[in-house]
Structure 1
Amino acid sequence: MDEVKVVVAHSERATLRVGDVFLKVDADQARIDAEVEVMARAPVPTPEVLWRKPPVLAIAAVPGTTLGRLGEPSTAPPSAWAAAGAAIRKLHDAPLPPHHGRAGRELDELAAELDVECELLVANGVLPADLVTRNRQVAEAALRPWTPVFTHGDLQIAHVFLDGDHVTGVIDWSEAGQGDALYDLATFTLGHEEHLGDVIAGYGTDVDLDLDVIRGWWSLRSLLGVRWLVEHGFDPSAPGCEVDVLKSRCT
């Protein structure tokens, strides 16, 4: 008999695995509806939706393996990273989905949230003031107008599965919507900066790929994520994770 495995669980939602079936439990029905819709629109392989019964969405496991995880070295060859880059480009070139998701926030709103978060990180002693200040400066590069594209919105490397150099599935679309292409590229290479060139080789260089903006998103995403991760039982200070990403901007 298959065991029930908790994949991730926090106050917003939880994901359980039973055999080859994933059960996503989310009290926000609109978020589940949006996730199903964007998966249907995405021009890349996505999990098969088996059934829906609010507040649960059941999806099938996708074949293949990921390129790695945040905080762990990747043994995947450059060609696999390039294949992922090509799939990301295919997504970004697709017609825009309906406007929703965190990646589609207005610049002023995002900048204000970042400033509040930086103040809290220092005031609560979560991170040193000089580390926060330096990364807030780096993050400024990301806070510029962009042309919206179809973005995944949470494109961690653990969410992209491959079989060799073939992308077999992209999971966890709850943050998908209209957003900045460079945000997806930054999220995918967060903590794996040495593979950015491989990803870009597959993505293509015929678009504006400002590396300072990608670095800005690395800092911005990490600054916004540290307190949330701590409060939900994760460790952003583990080797190679968000705190190390922030420290790398100060060297």
Structure 2
Amino acid sequence: MDEVEVVVAHHECATLRVGDVFLKIDADQARTDNEVEAMTLAPVPTPAILWRRPPVLALAALPGASLGRLGEPSPASPAAWVAAGAAVRRLHEAPVPSRQGRAGRGREELTEELDVECEWLVANGVLPPELVARNREVADAALRPWTPAFTHGDLQLAHVFVDGDEVTGIIDWTEAGRGDALYDLATLTLGHDEHLDDVLDGYGADADLDVIRAWWSLRSLLGVRWLIEHGFDAFGPGGEVDVLKAALS
């Protein structure tokens, strides 16, 4: 019998791997509905849906391996990162979904959330006030009007699979929907700014680097408390706190 591997688990959802099958268990079926719809619409490779029996969604494993992990050097070639950028461009050029994704939150909502998180980080002594203040200042550049695109919404490098120099699939579409294209580009390169030029070469379109850097700061400021409360390490080498520290240099 195949061994059961816990890929990720927290109080919202869990993902298990059994052989070549991934089992995603989510109490919020609206998230699963969105994931299935987004994978159906996306013009990029996605995992094959094997079956769905709420609250479980069974997906086939993708060939190859992910671009890497946050905090670790990427094992993928520069050409694979270029291919990832090209895949993201195809996604962003597809017809825009009606549903607002995570990358589509408005300025007012993000500003309120950002201010709450910054206050919490300082009040609880999690991060130095000057580090929070500098990144809050940088993050403001992301809070501007943008043209809606079909966005993934959680395009971590661990969610992009490659085999050699080709993208074999993108996973975890629960946050997909209309949103800011630069959010996806920033998420993909978070903590791996050395591959930003490769991604943009593949993307083949102008991208405001100040906005991408702003999203690095914004996403990291919003993520630290969630990571701590869900048992993850935001302070590990190359992680969110290191991303925030880089904004001081």
TM-score, normalization by structure 2: 0.98
1:58-77 alignment runs, 5 A limit? 58-77=58-77
Looking at structure 2, the residues matched to 107 and 99 of structure 1 have their Cα atoms a distance apart, in angstroms, of: 17
1:91-110 alignment runs, 5 A limit? 91-110=91-110
Structure 2 residue aligned with 1:41: 41
1:123-142 alignment runs, 5 A limit? 123-142=123-142
Structure 2 residue aligned with 1:90: 90
Q: CA deviation at 1:77?
A: 2.1
Structure 1: give runs of 5+ residues left out of the alignment.
none
Looking at structure 1, the residues matched to 102 and 238 of structure 2 have their Cα atoms a distance apart, in angstroms, of: 24
Looking at structure 1, the residues matched to 173 and 76 of structure 2 have their Cα atoms a distance apart, in angstroms, of: 24
**What are the Cα deviations for residues 91-118 of structure 1, in whole angstroms up to 9, with x where unaligned?**
0000012313322212101111001110
Looking at structure 2, the residues matched to 98 and 28 of structure 1 have their Cα atoms a distance apart, in angstroms, of: 20
Cα RMSD (Å): 0.8
Residues 100-109 or 164-173, more deviating: 100-109
Structure 1 residue aligned with 2:185: 185
Q: CA deviation at 1:78?
A: 1.5
The yes-or-no answer on 1:196 pairing with 2:201 is no
Looking at structure 2, the residues matched to 75 and 111 of structure 1 have their Cα atoms a distance apart, in angstroms, of: 36
Structure 2 residue aligned with 1:154: 154
1:170-249 alignment runs, 5 A limit? 170-205=170-205, 207=206, 209-249=207-247
**What are the Cα deviations for residues 54-87 of structure 1, in whole angstroms up to 9, with x where unaligned?**
1111111111112211000123222111010000
Amino acid of the residue matched to residue 239 of structure 1?
A: P
Looking at structure 2, the residues matched to 148 and 124 of structure 1 have their Cα atoms a distance apart, in angstroms, of: 36
Looking at structure 2, the residues matched to 46 and 77 of structure 1 have their Cα atoms a distance apart, in angstroms, of: 21
Q: CA deviation at 1:249?
A: 0.3
Looking at structure 1, the residues matched to 76 and 214 of structure 2 have their Cα atoms a distance apart, in angstroms, of: 26
How many corresponding residue pairs?
249
| Percentage of matched positions with identical amino acids | 75
Structure 1 residue aligned with 2:10: 10
Amino acid of the residue matched to residue 179 of structure 1?
A: G
Q: CA deviation at 1:23?
A: 0.7
Q: Contact between 2:154 and 2:176, CA under 8 Å: does it hold in 1?
A: yes
Structure 2: give runs of 5+ residues left out of the alignment.
none
Q: Secondary structure at the match of 1:244?
A: helix
Structure 2 residue aligned with 1:167: 167
Deviation above 6 Å: which 4+ runs of structure 1? Answer: none
Looking at structure 2, the residues matched to 102 and 150 of structure 1 have their Cα atoms a distance apart, in angstroms, of: 11
Looking at structure 2, the residues matched to 29 and 66 of structure 1 have their Cα atoms a distance apart, in angstroms, of: 26
Amino acid of the residue matched to residue 130 of structure 2?
A: D
Residues 209-218 or 96-105, more deviating: 96-105
Looking at structure 2, the residues matched to 21 and 40 of structure 1 have their Cα atoms a distance apart, in angstroms, of: 19
Amino acid of the residue matched to residue 159 of structure 2?
A: H
Q: Contact between 2:77 and 2:164, CA under 8 Å: does it hold in 1?
A: no
Residues 101-110 or 138-147, more deviating: 101-110
Structure 2 residue aligned with 1:20: 20
Amino acid of the residue matched to residue 118 of structure 2?
A: C
Q: CA deviation at 1:24?
A: 0.6
**What are the Cα deviations for residues 193-250 of structure 1, in whole angstroms up to 9, with x where unaligned?**
0110010000013x4x110000000000000000100110100100001000000000
